[in-house]
Amino acid sequence: MTSQIDQTARIGFLMTPKCSMMAFASAIEPLRAANRLSGKELYDWVLITSDGAPVSASNRIEIVPNCSIDNAPDLNMVFIVAGIDYETYDDQHVFAWLRRLDRHGTPIGTFSSASYIAAKAGLLEGYRCTIHWEDAIGFRETYPHIELTGSMFEIDRNRYTSAGGTSAMDLMLHIIARDHGSELASDISMQFQHDRIRDQADQQRMSRKLLLATKSEKLLTAINLMESNLETPISPAEIAETVGLSVRQMERLFQQHIGQPPARFYMELRLEHARLLLVQTGLPIVEVAVASGFVSHSHFAKCYRQHFNRSPMEERRRKL
């Protein structure tokens, strides 16, 4: 197949402190394989940091960049690579650089939690995006006006966002297929033992307990009700009535598939919601309690300590 792009495409990777090596490798290796399998220099890549100094990935491997943002070459695309500690990232020089690229029409993408950085720079206003499911609650709380999906990746005009991990490979394979045809993308996928190139319709798998919910439609409905009512919890009787069960039948259903009563499961959902708010946002602890369905701060603190073996305040200090 004739390539849709005659010139080598140069892609920039903005590496931030404690970025995800998994997402980065999953993104850059398909580009390398595209060059190797095609026998052409279809892609070139540039590693960039704010000041040109090395950064350590989340696995403590040092990444040596090719340049700083101030002397970066012209780029056809730029991807922000983040990992942990993204919520404290506040490099205004980087934000201004990204906005300048955007004004010049450069497509911008993110991997994993980097959607937070793009949003903080004002680059996701009016765009659909995704983020790793573990970061979704805090993102929605911080940026409620931005359309966030649970997809593996999203392509919305000139914004490319990925949930991180191996989903970065799926996103890059779609870009390669668009640029040089689906046959090359499929060959690359097979090279990496990647059975199927996932698309935007593929949703992230959330947690073990939610996977168990697929064994029963009524159980899934009950869990969805709980997740939709974390701030204002509803009673077991209301949940049971909505799913068409008696309270006793619902208790047996939860015990059979999850191994705990629905009230306990509901409480753990609320506490996990609170934990994510504590580590992903700067909301006052009292507001976190209210957002997680607790009227009393003391009751919230007691339940939190019983479940996580630390207080909400200690949880917040752990991320600093």
Q: What is the pTM of this model?
A: 0.72
Using pLDDT thresholds of 50, 70 and 90, give the confidence band for residue 3: very low
State what percent of residues in the chain have pLDDT above 90.
Answer: 75
- Say which amino acid occupies 106: T
Could you tell me if residue 203 is inside a domain? no
What pLDDT, on the 0 to 100 scale, is given for residue 220? 85
Q: Give kind and range of the element (H or E) at residue 307.
A: helix 297-308
What CATH code is carried by the domain that includes residue 308?
1.10.10.60
Could you tell me if residue 223 is inside a domain? yes
Residue-wise pLDDT for 199-220, tens only, equals 887 778 664 444 555 568 898 8
What is the rounded distance in angstroms from the CA atom of residue 316 to the CA atom of residue 133? 20
Phi, psi of 289 (to 5 degrees): -60, -50
Q: Give kind and range of the element (H or E) at residue 189.
A: helix 182-191
Do residues 184 and 225 both lie within one domain?
A: no
Total Cβ atoms within 10 A of residue 173: 25
Residue that is last in its domain, among 191, 222, 249: 191
What pLDDT, on the 0 to 100 scale, is given for residue 4? 45
Q: Which domain holds residue 290?
A: 208-318
Angle 203-208-213 (CA atoms, 0-180°, nearest 5)? 75
What is the rounded distance in angstroms from the CA atom of residue 254 to the CA atom of residue 120? 40
What is the rounded distance in angstroms from the CA atom of residue 30 to the CA atom of residue 41? 13
Average pLDDT for 80-98: 93
- The number of angstroms, rounded, from the C-alpha of 278 to the middle of its chain's C-alpha atoms is 17
Sequential DSSP letters for 194-214: ------TTPBPP--HHHHHGG
- Check pLDDT > 50 for residue 302: yes
Residue-wise pLDDT for 151-174, tens only, equals 899 999 999 999 989 999 999 999
Indicate the number of domains in the chain. Answer: 2
Using pLDDT thresholds of 50, 70 and 90, give the confidence band for residue 87: confident
